[in-house]
Amino acid sequence: MTTESDGRNNRPDCVLEDQLELLYRQLPIAIIGTWGCAALVTLVASLGGVEDRAPIIYWFALFTVLSVFRGLDRALYNNARPVEPAAKKWFNRHALGAFISGILWGSAAAYLFLMGGPVLKILVVIVPAGLVAASVPAYSPSFKGFIAYSLPALIPLAAVCFHLGGAIYMALGTSIILYVGLMSGLTFRINKMITGHMRMSMDYARLAERLSNEKNLVESLNKGLKAEVVTRRATEEALTRATAEMKSLLEFNNSILENSPAGILNLDEKLRVVYMNPELKRIIGVPEGEEYYAMGVKMSEIPTIVNAGLTWVLDRLADGAPVSLETPFTSRYGKGAFISIKGVPIMMDGAFAGAMILVVDITSAKNAEGAIIKAREAAERASRAKSEFMANISHELRTPLNSVIGMAGLALNSRSDKERVEQLEIIRSSADALLSMVDDILDFSQIESGEYRLERKSFALVNELEKAIKGPALEAQKKGLEFIVNTEPDLPGLVSGDAAALRNVIKNLAGNAVKFTERGEILVSVSTLTRGDGKKVIGFSVRDTGIGISAESLESIFESFYQVDGSCTRRRGGAGLGATMARKLVEIMGGRLWVDSAQGQGSDFKFEIPMETASEEEKPRAGLKDGLRVVALHPSAKVMASITGHLRHWGLSVAECLTMDEAMLAVNGNGRDTALIVDLGHGTERSAAMLGKLKERSPSLCVVALVTLAEASDIALKMEPGLVDAYLPKPVIHNRLYEALLRATGANRIKEEAKPAPANGGAKGSPHLNVLVAEDNPFNQKLALLILEGKGHKAHVAETGRQAVEMWREGDYDLILMDVQMPEMDGFQATATIREIEKESGARIPICAVTAHVMPGYMEKCLEAGMDDYVTKPINSDELFNKMRKLVESCAGKPHAAPPSPAPEPELGPGRKPLFDISSLRPVFSTDEIQELARVFINRGYEQIASIEKAISERDSKNLCLMAHQLKGSSSQFYALKVVAIAKELEILGHTGNFEEAAQNQFESTGEILHLRSE
């Protein structure tokens, strides 16, 4: 293939192209230089050189235009890159530009020489002369261009000098003519030198090309010669092989097998080495340059063969028997390997004539086989762990389900309100256990799939700690364990992070500590730590006195589905995910978690999390009486330390006592400005008697009683009025301790009594509200009205999003409960419309979303749409009223008074066992109201199923999903769990377009509704 340079070398006139390229390459410098000189002359002339400045300004403008055009010509040349014969045209274009530039300079010089003073005359002589001299290199590739520029530039000035006459002017004119001639001759000479140099370079290029061609020819001849030599050598070798067939055969094998990846060994009839390829030398460890064939050594005399005990292989081959085995082997240099040996004897005329042995290094294959075995064993262990995990899950789900089903039956047949309350409490506790189990599994699933997303919000660290340990603390107290919380006094008040993830970690670790501890205590500590890099982190520790963990299991307990002892886990309960999920959550939050433990000595789980401090802890000193003295009575030094540390941090005087006698001495009849903190423990009667004596001796003594969470209400009822001024549930949290001291000393003038919470919950401090309920499902409408009106609220229903917007504009509502999926305008659109209208007035009504969607990210979607909070179906009335209260208070700025409690509802008749679960409705609704809800639910169910059937027949995915979602929502409110499951499946089938299976599910849902109606 001919290259571009080859093509140029083959053209005799390509020198012209090189000259043109050099000429245009230097053109920008020439343009800039001449334009700058023109600007200098114009400036001098304008400053006083001539009276009439207009001609010289016009001249400068023309010169600028010419410079622009010559610059454009340069750009056009760069794009064109012309070759012969087009190059000649570009030479002419360049010469034309030079000629016009010369005319402009000549005319200007002549004019200024006539009109200007001495300075200007000198300037107009020097500048054009200098430009002509400077143009010699620029125009050297084109003598025509130099003549076109220099003659018009200087000849007019010489003519003016001759015209003026006089010796000086005549001499100046003559000098200009001679100068032009001299510069022309110099330029002509330079042009010839450049042209000659370029032609010489071209000749060199042609010579180099010719030499290259001749070199290729020589190389081609050499290749042919080599091929001829190889052919002749092969012929000679073939003749040599013909004289000695066996020798030729061995040499042929040697040439083929020299680079074989397997070791090849040929032996003669005396088992001496005939041939050994490099691979076998590498395996055995033969030194480089050592040839066994030349030495005539016997294979049985090689040390590595003797040491490996392989001489029997040679004996067997000598007997004419083949050999095949795999064995470990150590080379001469001590390198271990695993080899495969296959040998066959060579028999000639029935006699042994030699042997061929194939040796393969199978070390990698054996290692891979071992890795496969280990992987299989690990997979089997994981399978067993998962099976054990599923067995635990089955056990954990069946146990509370058994309680729910059994207690629900007893509650429905019970005639005693007290028995029913106890049974319903068991049901609620079992349901909470189930919910916690499901939440753990869902969280773990999200973590394992990498879908867990952290939320970064500011939260009160101590408050979240209190929420996290409440459940484990209650379980610990039921087992008779001491649950202690020790927080550093200087902890930050607000931190930034994921509060839910932190609660989950603490709850799991504390729950495990309680689960595996039979006696002793659980200590949860929180402090601020400084890492090695200087950054501050929050450090947590959960220490127990339980069974401990063996050294070999310290890391294994954090593996997914791994349990140290499956039987132990089944005995104590739980899914076995706590430690695994805790470590993964801590790592997601950027921290680390580890454990210190020994078998039988308890465990200490520690973790550190980097959290930004939103605000420092406020030091709660204001409000307590000046000079307040505290007497702390508790038999545990650790509990005492958790209490007194904060008391002293608040600047209070503290006396620590281990017995009631010490406390009586510490009070010593002087109860004024003294508070006694005492743990009532299990000896309530004895403690009451001792407190009675203290109160008799010191009537002004303030008493704060520490009680367990489970016994708080019972102790308060049993205790004689006036003995205890404030009850403080254990474990002691410092902010609750401060509040208890305030209550006991009367500083906040709030007197609270520890009474059992009402059975039906209710939102404490809920106001009488005017609520707009946006809901298209008649059953859900009825249910919402009964719940709200049962608490004294007013409620109005809007069936569509558009109607909700209109009713809000016309009415005066305190709150909107907004369903998400509604006809005409959904909840998101309705909320967005309301928020847009509110921009004009500046007001904002609280909007709480009510929906059956529970997928991750849906709450964020509601908040982004402008809603203020989120409630899922089935509606928990306590949760609903609490959120209503918070939303209204956040808008109004202050809480409202609580409405009166509703009248008690009548019992359902004995023996009724409806298929749907109404146990969650009974605490809220009467029997008549429940029956009315059931009637609305069943009638609406028929309508929804008819719409589903129509959507299936018309293969309308959108309406099928909408109707199935509505059926799911109303069924979940009435706890018709089987209908919920069918409706959920229908919704999924609608999204996937599987109408055949949807038709079958539609028949099942119809039968279930009929079944419910018969009940």
169-220, pLDDT tens digit by residue? 787 778 777 877 777 777 777 767 777 676 666 666 666 777 777 777 777 8
User: Which DSSP letter does residue 47 get?
Assistant: I
Class of domain 927-1014: mainly alpha
In this predicted model, what pLDDT tens digit does every residue of 873-913 receive, in sequence order? 767 777 788 888 888 877 765 444 333 333 333 333 333 33
Q: What pLDDT is recorded for position 816?
A: 94
Q: Is 80 exceeded by the pLDDT of residue 340?
A: yes
pLDDT (average), residues 12-22: 66
CATH 3.40.50.1000 fits 373-452, yes or no: no
DSSP structure string for 688-749: HHHHHHHHHH-TT-EEEEEE-TTTHHHHHHHSPTTS-SEEEESSP-HHHHHHHHHHHHTSS-
CB 120 within 8 A of CB 45: yes
pLDDT level of residue 752 (50, 70, 90 thresholds) = very low
Q: 343 by DSSP, 3-state: which?
A: strand
CB 605 within 8 A of CB 541: yes
Instruction: Please tell me the distance from the alpha carbon of residue 778 to that of residue 784, in angstroms, as a whole number.
Output: 10
Tokens 């091929």 label which residue? 227
Structure tokens at 800: 């569509």
Q: Provide the pairing of β-strand 629-633 with 653-657.
A: parallel
Contacts of 770 (CB under 8 A, 6+ apart): 793, 794, 796, 811, 812, 813, 814, 815
Instruction: Please tell me the distance from the alpha carbon of residue 578 to that of residue 582, in angstroms, as a whole number.
Output: 6
pLDDT level of residue 845 (50, 70, 90 thresholds) = very high
Q: Higher model confidence: residue 844 or residue 218?
A: 844
- Phi/psi of residue 330, nearest 5 degrees: -120, 125
Instruction: Please tell me the distance from the alpha carbon of residue 827 to that of residue 799, in angstroms, as a whole number.
Output: 11
Q: Is 645 exposed, middle or buried (0-12, 13-18, 19+ CB in 10 A)?
A: middle
Q: Higher model confidence: residue 150 or residue 507?
A: 507
Residue 668 identity: N
Per-residue HEC secondary structure of 510-578 comes to HHHHHHCCCCCEEEEEEEEEECCCCCEEEEEEEEECCCCCCHHHCCHHHCCCCCCCHHHHHHHCCCCCH
Q: Which CATH superfamily is domain 770-892 in?
A: Response regulator (3.40.50.2300)
Instruction: Please tell me the distance from the alpha carbon of residue 1012 to that of residue 971, in angstroms, as a whole number.
Output: 11
Q: Higher model confidence: residue 36 or residue 836?
A: 836
Q: What pLDDT is recorded for position 487?
A: 92
* Torsion region of 669: left, alpha or beta (phi above 0 gives left; psi -120 to 50 gives alpha): left
Q: Is 50 exceeded by the pLDDT of residue 31?
A: yes
Q: List 361's β-bridge partners, or say none.
A: 339
Q: What pLDDT is recorded for position 755?
A: 36
Instruction: Please tell me the distance from the alpha carbon of residue 293 to that of residue 516, in angstroms, as a whole number.
Output: 74
Give first-to-last CA distance, the chain, whole Å.
95
Q: What pLDDT is recorded for position 505?
A: 92
Q: Give, for 387, the enclosing helix (H) or strand (E).
A: helix 363-413
Q: Is 60 exceeded by the pLDDT of residue 573?
A: no
CB 413 within 8 A of CB 440: no
Largest CA distance in the chain: 146
**If we measure between CA atoms, which residue out of 726, 731, 757, 755 comes closest to residue 742?**
726
Q: What CATH code would you report for 253-361?
A: 3.30.450.20
DSSP structure string for 190-246: HHHHHHHHHHHHHHHHHHHHHHHHHHHHHHHHHHHHHHHHHHHHHHHHHHHHHH-HH
Instruction: Please tell me the distance from the alpha carbon of residue 851 to that of residue 827, in angstroms, as a whole number.
Output: 10
Hey, where are the domains in the chain?
4-211, 253-361, 373-452, 455-615, 629-745, 770-892, 927-1014
In this predicted model, what pLDDT tens digit does every residue of 228-276 receive, in sequence order? 888 888 877 777 777 667 676 666 766 776 778 788 887 888 888 877 7
Instruction: Please tell me the distance from the alpha carbon of residue 486 to that of residue 328, in angstroms, as a whole number.
Output: 61
In this predicted model, what pLDDT tens digit does every residue of 631-673 receive, in sequence order? 998 888 888 888 988 898 888 889 998 888 888 888 875 656 7
Outline where 954-994 has alpha helix (H): 957-973, 977-992
Structure tokens at 490: 């200087």
Q: Is 90 exceeded by the pLDDT of residue 539?
A: yes
> Selecting from 3.10.20.740, 3.40.630.30, 3.50.50.60, 3.40.50.2300, what CATH number does the domain 629-745 have?
3.40.50.2300
Contacts of 621 (CB under 8 A, 6+ apart): 650, 651
CB 862 within 8 A of CB 830: no
Q: Is 404 exposed, middle or buried (0-12, 13-18, 19+ CB in 10 A)?
A: buried
Q: What pLDDT is recorded for position 173?
A: 75
Outline where 244-348 has alpha helix (H): 245-257, 278-284, 292-295, 303-307, 311-318
Q: What pLDDT is recorded for position 527?
A: 92
State what percent of residues in the chain have pLDDT above 70: 68
Matching fold, domains 253-361 and 373-452:
no
Q: What pLDDT is recorded for position 852?
A: 67
User: Which DSSP letter does residue 300 get?
Assistant: G
Q: What CATH code would you report for 455-615?
A: 3.30.565.10
Contacts of 313 (CB under 8 A, 6+ apart): 323, 325, 341, 343, 357
Structure tokens at 482: 């001491």
Total count of residues recorded for the chain = 1015
Q: What pLDDT is recorded for position 11?
A: 46
Tokens 């005549």 label which residue? 170
